[in-house]
Amino acid sequence: MLHHRIIGTGSPIVLLHGVSLDHRYMMDVMEPAFRGSGAWKRIYVDMPGHGESPARDSIRSQDDLLSAALDFVNSKLPNEPFAIAGLSRGSYIARGLVHTIPERISGVALIVPGGNPSADPDRLPDPQVIKADASIRPELAEAEVWAHENLSVVQRWDIVEKRRQIIAPSRAKFDAEQDARVMSAFDFSFAKAEETATVTVPSLIVVGRQDSVSGYLDGVDLMRRFPRATLAVLDAAGHALAWERPEVFHSLIRDWLDRI
């Protein structure tokens, strides 16, 4: 059983983090959106090799990670419908679940999807800072500088602190060897079928215009497959758009929940 945390009661929603992160990141960016949004049973999961879920020697591909997620939802939510929200790598697993058990999915949110290894790297924007804060750089430890200068489209002290409190501890538990195996077999074995399937449940696709990790064009391209989707391309936002543009991000999540 994957490590997880459940908050609230009501309609279930499974929340999947990105690579090297864990459930704490998803809790931090998602919980504010649930305030006043109805009764939701939020299930925050640590995928194998992340957080408190140990890596598994049997995981050799993205298909294997998907199987772990499928086993989890079948155990925790047997035969129940549920919504799913995935961030970055978690959005790809979310897509795999939607394709594998479409009859059980009530809604899907894909947050900063795209930028997979098979994607064209020329579609990614160069790192760019839109809102700079020159007072921060001299106070950073050397290990913090690269992320601050390359991943922070918006430079603020509260984002620095969140990186320290949430991202750094999760990376300390991240299993890079397992991830290297997955990266060598990243695309689902059914990728061609998944990439052409239509998803008709209420959906949300949110991307950052300055996201140099996943880009925004892959997310825009997904739109044609989701006739019930809202697409948001946020300016002054990168891969950490939920921290950089929290008000608009939470509004989009609340609208998605309302539509479900």
CB atoms near residue 81 (< 10 Å): 14
- How confident is the model over 177-201, as a mean pLDDT? 97
Total domains in the fold of the chain? 1
Q: What is the CATH number of the domain that holds 201?
A: 3.40.50.1820
Using a pLDDT cut of 70, give the percent of the chain over it: 100
The one-character DSSP state at 101 is: S
- According to the model, what pLDDT value does residue 119 have? 87
Q: Is residue 250 helix, strand or coil?
A: helix
> What order of strands is seen across the sheet that includes strand 229-234?
4-7, 40-45, 11-16, 82-87, 105-111, 203-208, 229-234
Averaged pLDDT score across all residues of the chain: 97
- How confident is the model over 164-190, as a mean pLDDT? 97
Residues contacting 220, CB < 8 A, separation 6+: 207, 231, 233
pLDDT of 40 over the 90 cut: yes
> What digits encode the pLDDT tens for the residues 114-154?
999 988 999 999 999 999 999 999 999 999 999 999 999 99
The pTM (predicted TM-score) of the whole model is 0.97
> What digits encode the pLDDT tens for the residues 16-29?
999 999 999 999 99
| Domain with 205 in it | 4-259
